[in-house]
Amino acid sequence: MTGAQIFISYRRDDAAGYARAAYDELVRHFSEQRVFIDVDDIVAGQSFTDAIRRAVGDSKVLLVLIGKRWLGERDDGSSKISEPGDFVAMEVAAGLAKGMRVIPLLLDGTTMPTPAQLPESLRALSERNALELGNTRFAADMDRLVRVLRDALGEPPSPPVPARSSPPASSSRALLAVGAAVAAIVLVLAAFWWMQSRHGGAASQGATPASAANASDRPRIDGSWRAEVGYDWPNARFVERFVFSGEGDSLHGSASFLGVDRGILEGATGPGTLRFVTRTSETGGGGNAEIVHRYSGRLAGDEIRFVMQTEGGSSAHVPVEFSARRTATRQ
């Protein structure tokens, strides 16, 4: 990809879900041509090292997603981040050497690595001001990130809604006349309501406001879930992870497919239900094909019963049914 201005750096076994969710949100604000992520922007057969070098060279901002496994620590005390061939280290080192705006994004309370934990080429990262990106406040954190990115790219913030100008005198007189008519109608309706309340309005005192009803309709699904899923081909059984958050009927987070976290798209909730979409790609003889996974779930006690339908690709798939159980309770 050429002309990229925002480069997302992440370790796949640490922050794949967050990377995809952040990418999808940034594309909404900046377009696909201005955001680089390796899954989508490196084609089959292309040199990973060459593609990364070119993308970093074209970019103005480097986002470094840092989760709890970003260092790649091992039991013997070594870490992936210190290896010369580690792609994450190569990306960050290239951005720092170029003098890019490098912004660490600390995921779900992860602390900033200390200089002693980093190789010499990355120690300047610990001096960069970091932003936080959390599962429980993803939308608000992304809004803040978008504002920071617009500033870093030299772009003005979204313009405020212009104030309404005062209407001319003739319009004011017309508005006053309309207002008087509306006031008369309101008085008539008020009198009617008072009469109704005298005779039969008492039964409505227990009604629940619509806003309260909508708030209570959201299922208690926020947090982390785990499921053992058997897919519709031989010996295909995986442990999948789901992380949900949101407010009202919105749904954000990630859902893994074949053990790899994917960002949730088109997420929504209803009374005791949820639905969302994830996307993957399939490489075959005819090139790359987009695969869509549509999830529909219903909360039943302490588990979510899902039906997942895969669409696209080189073969047809039957719906897959499975149940997810909560692994962590939000406070």
For residue 124, what pLDDT is reported? 95
DSSP state of 17: H
pLDDT at 96: 93
CA–CA distances in Å: residue 294 to residues 134, 254, 278, 279, 319: 25, 13, 7, 9, 10
* Residue 88 one-letter amino acid: V
Measured over the CA atoms of residue 120, residue 122, residue 124 and residue 129, the dihedral's sign is negative
* Higher pLDDT, residue 50 or 196: 50
Rounded Cα gap, residues 41 and 52, in angstroms: 10
pLDDT in tens, 223-244: 999 999 998 777 788 899 999 9
- Residue 255 region by backbone torsions, left for phi larger than 0, else alpha for psi between -120 and 50, else beta: beta
Confidence check: pLDDT of 27 > 70: yes
Rounded average pLDDT over 30-44: 71
User: Over 80: is that where the pLDDT of 175 sits?
Assistant: no
Model confidence at 132, pLDDT cuts 50, 70, 90, reads: very high
118, with CB counted inside 10 A (0-12, 13-18, 19+), is buried
- Percentage, residues of the chain above pLDDT 70: 72
Three-state DSSP state, 31: coil
What is the CA 107 to chain-centroid distance, rounded?
Answer: 12
- pLDDT for position 236: 81
Q: Please provide residue 162's backbone torsions phi and psi, each rounded to the nearest 5 degrees.
A: -65, 145
Cα angle for residues 25, 26, 32 (degrees, 5° grid): 110
Residues with Cβ within 8 Å of residue 84, at least 6 apart in sequence = none
- Is the pLDDT at 14 greater than 90, yes or no? no
Rounded (5°) CA angle 83-86-91: 125
Q: Average pLDDT for residues 167-195, to the nearest whole number? A: 53
Of the pLDDT bands very low, low, confident and very high (cuts 50, 70, 90), residue 203 is very low
Give the phi and the psi of residue 74 in degrees, each rounded to 5. Answer: -115, 165
pLDDT at 78 over 80: yes
Residue 88: name the closest of 149, 3, 12 by CA.
12
User: If you average pLDDT over residues 110-126, what whole number do you get?
Assistant: 94
Secondary element (H or E) of residue 273: strand 273-284
Mean pLDDT over residues 169-191, rounded? 54
Residues constituting the chain: 331
28: tokens are 């909404």
Given a cut of 50, is residue 88 above it in pLDDT? yes
Please determine, for residue 102, whether its predicted confidence score (pLDDT) is greater than 90.
yes
What average pLDDT does range 49-54 have in this prediction?
Answer: 68
CA distance 327 to 83: 33
Answer whether 20's CB lies under 8 Å from 39's CB: yes
Query: Residue 248's pLDDT band (boundaries 50, 70, 90)?
Result: confident
Contact in structure between 253 and 135 (CB atoms under 8 Å): yes
Averaged pLDDT for residues 35-44: 62
2, 41, 56, 100 from 92: Cα distances, Å: 19, 18, 9, 10
pLDDT of residue 255: 93
